[in-house]
Structure 1
């Protein structure tokens, strides 16, 4: 199934029906592309956005400590 990344519109509370109508954080989340989410976008409750880029993992150092 196709997915969307949505954020709540400014001044709106966006609820996720698949999570017990838990509020979506302002940073947004991935959701399935269903009629529910498409209606939220159409009515101005949600904004389709680009997801944040994943953080790069810190490089592991192989330097050994000498006691």
Structure 2
């Protein structure tokens, strides 16, 4: 099954029917199903490119040579 990474738009609480909880603000990988495609179409969530999620800032370690 194909997947995609989505996150809720600001101020929205979006249920995740597969996990039985609410989609976290940071988003998660979900199946590319009718449920999630509908949430995208309704503007409840946005799709997040995988590379954007993997580009987390790296902490600066002082004195690490």
Does TM, scored on the shorter chain, surpass 0.5? yes
Answer with 1 or 2: which has the greater Rg.
Answer: 1
- Where structure 2 has 5 or more consecutive residues not aligned to the other structure, the ranges are 57-65
Runs of 4+ in 1 over 4 A off after TM superposition: none
Higher normalized helix content (fraction of residues): 2
Instruction: Tell me the TM-score normalized by structure 1.
Output: 0.73
- Where structure 1 has 5 or more consecutive residues not aligned to the other structure, the ranges are 56-67
CA RMSD for the aligned pairs?
Answer: 1.5
* Number of residue equivalences: 54
